[in-house]
């Protein structure tokens, strides 16, 4: 029997800037409100970052996370998934601090080091950062989003073994699936694994249907049946490739972290609007969406 479809909503992220959309949640209140509405609209999993309330700059401060996590937990039963990617400008210790404090059911785990191209968004960054950090964006051209084997093992030990957290394995290219399969063969990972195919980040695989077929074929070959996948396509391919992933038997991630629009040329007014749209598509295709508890049992979360 086909599993129900797990919708993840990535609520704010660290890539988009407040100058790109007035609807991007920035303060703890805004993040909490939009997360709760996204869960009510059908998101079983909420993937969460934090931002400095005044500037909107990505924040790794556990206190900022704790200003919205308990509120979301109290108002919904959604799975809370805390980013360990943070932003490519943070150290690993900074990236892990919020999750080490919250000990969530789920965290992201980025499966390889890479270039991470945010410099094409230069106008929005110029407008946003001019007061607090001139030259910020140009400097990111020389930054590696660092996720070495040692980093991955550290996260698995600290959060996986230490806290019973399970992971959204972020795979930005087929090589990341090979790394995941290697750790599985070493006995460091217990299935079923939950893979997020991250498509369309400059530096990773591009967001094209052929590439999604290739990612899925690679995962099938290297992981057998011991995994579930979800599709995240950055920017304008979000809904199209997400839908294709569902048709291929997978799950889907939406949210303003990954795309600011609801359709070409039109800003989404909220995360919930994107969740509601993908939910309509999923249901029109004849699938049911998973509740948070159904997502927990699919992924083997501690609950
Ligand atoms: N920003 C996305 C492309 C993370 O938070 O660990 C990937 C992401 C990384 O969600
Ligand atoms: Zn993220």
pLDDT tens digits along 95-131:
999 999 999 999 999 999 999 999 888 888 888 887 7
Of 8, 12, 17, 47, the residue with max ligand 1 atoms within 8 A of its CB, to mutate for a pocket test, comes to: 47
Judge whether 2 lies within some domain.
Answer: no
- Does residue 135 carry a pLDDT above 90? no
Judge whether 1 lies within some domain.
Answer: no
Q: Residue of the nearest CA to atom 2 in ligand 1?
A: 258
Distance 224 CA to ligand 1 centre (A): 25
Percent of the chain residues topping a pLDDT of 70: 99
Q: How does residue 136 score in pLDDT terms, banded at 50, 70 and 90?
A: confident
Distance 118 CA to ligand 1 centre (A): 13
> Is the minimum distance from the CB of 15 to ligand 1 under 6 angstroms?
yes
Separation CA 133–CA 301 (nearest Å): 40
Judge whether 265 lies within some domain.
Answer: yes
Q: How does residue 302 score in pLDDT terms, banded at 50, 70 and 90?
A: confident
Q: Which ligand is nearest to the CA of 12?
A: 2
Judge whether 17 lies within some domain.
Answer: yes
pTM: 0.97
**Structural domain that includes position 93:** 7-118+145-299
Long-range contacts of range 238-245, CB-CB < 8 Å, 24 or more positions apart? 238/274, 239/263, 239/274, 239/277, 239/278, 239/281, 241/199, 241/200, 241/207, 241/209, 241/212, 242/278, 243/278, 243/281, 243/282, 243/285, 244/209, 244/212, 245/197, 245/212
Judge whether 181 lies within some domain.
Answer: yes
C-alpha torsion sign, points 213, 86, 75, 78: positive
Please state the domain count of the chain.
Answer: 1
The per-residue pLDDT for 221 is 98
**CATH (domain of 213):** 3.20.20.70
Distance 60 CA to ligand 2 centre (A): 12
The per-residue pLDDT for 131 is 73
Judge whether 131 lies within some domain.
Answer: no
């Amino acid at each position: 029997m086909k599993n129900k479809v797990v919708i993840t909503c990535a609520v704010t992220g660290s890539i988009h800037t407040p100058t790109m959309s007035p609807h991007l949640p920035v303060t703890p209140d805004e993040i909490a409100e939009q997360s709760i509405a996204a869960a009510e609209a059908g998101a079983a999993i909420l993937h969460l970052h934090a931002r400095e309330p005044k500037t909107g700059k990505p924040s790794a401060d556990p206190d900022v996370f704790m200003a919205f996590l308990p509120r979301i937990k109290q108002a919904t039963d959604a799975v809370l998934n805390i980013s360990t990617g943070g932003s490519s400008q943070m150290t690993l210790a900074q990236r892990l601090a919020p999750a080490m404090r919250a000990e969530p059911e789920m965290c992201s785990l980025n499966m390889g080091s890479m270039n991470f191209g945010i410099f094409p968004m230069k106008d929005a960054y110029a407008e946003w950062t001019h007061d607090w950090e001139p030259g910020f964006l140009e400097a990111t051209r020389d930054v590696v989003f660092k996720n070495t084997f040692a980093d991955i093992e550290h996260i698995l030990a600290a959060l996986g073994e230490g806290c019973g957290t399970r992971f959204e394995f972020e795979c930005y290219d087929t090589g990341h699936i090979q790394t995941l399969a290697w750790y599985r063969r070493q006995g460091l990972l217990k299935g079923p694994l939950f893979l997020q195919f991250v498509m369309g980040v400059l530096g990773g695989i591009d967001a094209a249907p052929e590439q999604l077929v290739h990612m899925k074929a690679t995962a099938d070959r290297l992981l057998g049946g011991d995994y579930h996948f979800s599709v995240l396509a950055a920017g304008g391919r979000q809904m199209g490739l997400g839908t294709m992933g569902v048709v291929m038997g997978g799950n889907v991630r939406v949210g303003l972290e990954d795309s600011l629009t609801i359709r070409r040329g039109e800003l989404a007014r909220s995360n919930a609007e994107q969740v509601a749209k993908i939910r309509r598509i999923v249901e029109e295709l004849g699938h049911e969406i998973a509740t948070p508890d159904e997502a927990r049992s699919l992924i083997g979360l501690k609950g």
